[in-house]
Structure formats: C-alpha cells, structure tokens
Amino acid sequence: SVPCDRLGLRRNEWQKMSSRGWAWLSREGKVAVACGAAWWCYAWYTRCCAVPSLIGSTLVVDLPSLRRRFLVHPLAVFGGTLETLLLGARMSSLYVPSGGGYAQVVELDDGGRCAINWWRERSSSGAVALVFPGMANSSETGFVRRLCKSLADAGFDAGVVDFRGCGVLCGEDDDFETAIHSLKSWRDVEAVLEACGTDRDVVAVGHSMGGAVLLCHLGRRRCERLKAAVVVSAPLDVVAQDATYPFFARLAVATGCKLLLLLNRAFRASVRRGHTSFASVITATEPHRIITAIKSFSFESPRDYYAQNSPVTALHRVAVPTLLLHSANDPIVPAEIAASADLVAANPNLAAVLTPCGGHLAFLDVFGRPFADDLAIDFLKAHADLSPRHERLDAPPRLQRQSSFRGKVLGF
C-alpha cells in the first residue's frame, strides 16, 4: 500500500492500471519503451558478437578468422548454459553422413584398442588431422563429424579418434576406469599418432576432455611429426576446476560418466562381482563421487588422480604451436582457469583466443553452426604442409562403421 500512497493512487486504481499492462501509456511512451528495448537488445547482441580477443603469444595474429566478427546465435545472449544446451538440442541437425571412410583399429601395448575413424579413404595428402572428442563424445557425435568433414574439405586426411570403449568400440573395453575419465588416455595418443603413417605431418584438434588429453601428451611426450594443435574448451587445471565446479557442470560431467559406464560391459561385470556399488554410481551427482564408488580405482583419491593427470603441470613443456580456444561464458570450464594469461605467458608456443560467447564447445553462429571450426582450421593450415607426399599406404585393420540412432540423437 505504501507505493500506492506515494503515487497518490488508490489501491483499486493501481490494480486496474497494472492489469491493463502498459495500455495506460501514451502512444509516444509505448514507442519510446519499444525503441529502448530494441536498442538494448542490439547493443547486447553486438557485444556478444565482438571480435575474439587474443591472449599471450603472437602465433595467431595473421589469422583471417580473428579479424572479423562472428554473428552468434540469438539465444547466446541469454548465457553460456543455454547455448551449451542448444548444442545438445541441435545434435541431430549437425550430424553429417559419412564421407565413405572406414574405422582403423589401433592395437595398444596393454592389449586395449583404440580406433581412428577416417572421414574418407586416405589419399596422398601431406598432412593428417585428428580430432580428439570430449567425454561422452565420439566419432558418432554430430558436431565432431561436422568438424571432421570441414577438415577433409580443407585438404587434410581427417579422422576422429575413438578412445577405449567409445564410438565404434563402445562396450568392448575392459578398462572402464579409462572410459569414464579419459585423462588417462594421454598414454595412448602416441600409438594413435604412429598409426597415421611414417612420413606424414600430423595436426590435432581436442575438444574439452579430449583437449586435456592432447595437452597432457604434448607436455609429456615429444613428437616431431605433430606440427600444431588446437584445444577447444579444455580444462587446464583440473584440480582448481573441480574446486569451483558449478552445479550444472558437476551434473553434466557426472551424467557423461554414467552414460559411458552403463554402456561398458566391464563395468557391468564389476557390478555383478560386487567390486562396484551400482547404486552409489547411479545416484552420484558429482564426478569425484563416481570415482570414489569404484573400489578398483588405482589412485588414492580423486584429487590424487586429477593432480597426476592435469595438463597444467606439463604446459610449460609443450613444444609445438598450440591454440587454446575458449569462451568467456563457458558454464563448465571457467575462462579464468582455462585461458589464464599467466599460463599462456609461460610458454611462447601457446596462444589463447577468448570469444565473448560460445558456451561449452557450442560456439554457434546465427545459423546454428559451430564457428570455432573456422578458427581451428585457419590455425592448422598456417602450420601444416598440405603438399602431396605420395606415401604408400598399407591396408590397416578395419572395423565395420555404421551410423546409429545413439550417435545421431544422443551424440555418443
């Protein structure tokens, strides 16, 4: 009643005016409000479409993609969480049919298997481009396939790496600890690179956890054939990130872990033998609780696991040009951790590009297509030799590859 008294209005008059909405405004007032709202929307959208900012090294100053604005999806103005959810909703529309390629089996030293899903039959191109998907993603994920096709159209022999128990190898791996948290998979990257050929330059793109795996390998192993790398929305300091996880991020990562575990027959066998508590895993809402529920986990604690496999401990040893691509509104991996100027400044081979919008891995333009692919391809083409090498390619072990409802709709 106090606001009504101050305006000199009786209660019934105030209620009538409120029920009519803005009908009590004059025509000029309505026009002014509409123009003000339109100007605010335009100003905010223009801010979201700002030119990406460069942090650290001068490795990418000449890239044409950095000199233009990307028209982001209109829903991006409402935050990174909605943009990330939009990427999941558009999974089926981003799905691209196979270009006629095949799945190459990579045998690992411990008896496990990875696979490289080549987009098309390999040619005599001078460079190979590998895509390392994130957690719960694989060669069947829509936006991963679209990136692979774009790399192939740019002149690369492009392929997507399916780690143990993922993609075409879904459910067959015995090491489900690797399947749920692929940070341990950095030890398998060397075998994947060797399977690409003996005399070929290799470039790589890593998404989220796949980017962390790639950075761990770059910092702990030296590979002269790997000429450049791009990591998108990758967690650099996993220990610091785990301490600052928002609820949405914890739930998203925990859900990804559960999906991989439920599809892994080794996990189901462990539950039957009583080595793992099924109820504890399914009801967990945080990643570290899932790790704790697995009794056979080979680390003392989740924090010990994160500390030993976090990329931040090896960033200063990365010896190839590497682009860290991140968005300022990433709801899962905070930009202040993943695109820190201090981390980038410690190594001249690192460069970071921060976009105002993009969410986690989304980076959708106004047409709903990932614009981060253009940035990655421009950077890789600047550092790779695409001239023909005429290398003799032996026929590798192959798997039958077919598109599935799981990959087309769910994305893994």
Quote the pLDDT of residue 140: 85
Give which of 107, 105, 113, 129 is closest to 200, Cα–Cα: 129
Model confidence at 231, pLDDT cuts 50, 70, 90, reads very high
Question: By the 8 A CB rule, do 350 and 344 touch?
Answer: yes
Quote the pLDDT of residue 161: 92
Q: 64: which DSSP letter?
A: G
Quote the pLDDT of residue 87: 82
Cα(272)–Cα(293) distance, integer angstroms: 15
Cα(136)–Cα(182) distance, integer angstroms: 10
pLDDT at residue 354 is higher than 80: yes
Quick one: tokens of 341? 């100027």
Quote the pLDDT of residue 409: 45
pLDDT tens by residue, 271-299: 777 666 777 777 777 766 676 666 555 66
pLDDT tens by residue, 369-379: 888 898 899 99
Mean of pLDDT over the chain? 76
pLDDT at residue 407 is higher than 70: no
pLDDT tens by residue, 120-131: 887 765 789 999
* Angle subtended at Cα 364 by Cα 362 and Cα 368, rounded to the nearest 5 degrees: 125
Residue 106's DSSP bridge partners are 114
pLDDT tens by residue, 242-256: 777 777 677 777 777
Q: Where are the beta strands (DSSP E) in 12-154?
A: 53-56, 103-107, 113-118, 127-132
Which residues, in sequence order, are CB contacts of 148 under 8 Å at separation 6+? 117, 119, 131, 139, 158, 159, 160
Concatenate the DSSP letters of all residues of 148-207 into one string. Answer: HHHHHHTT-EEEEEE-TTSGGGTTT-S-HHHHH-GGGGGGGHHHHHHTT-SS-EEEEEEE
pLDDT tens by residue, 3-29: 544 444 555 665 555 555 555 567 777
Cα(408)–Cα(403) distance, integer angstroms: 7
Lowest mean pLDDT among 138-147, 198-207, 257-266, 305-314: 257-266
Q: How far apart are the first and last CA of the chain?
A: 57
Quote the pLDDT of residue 377: 92
Higher pLDDT, 37 or 295: 37
pLDDT at residue 226 is higher than 80: yes
Quote the pLDDT of residue 12: 60
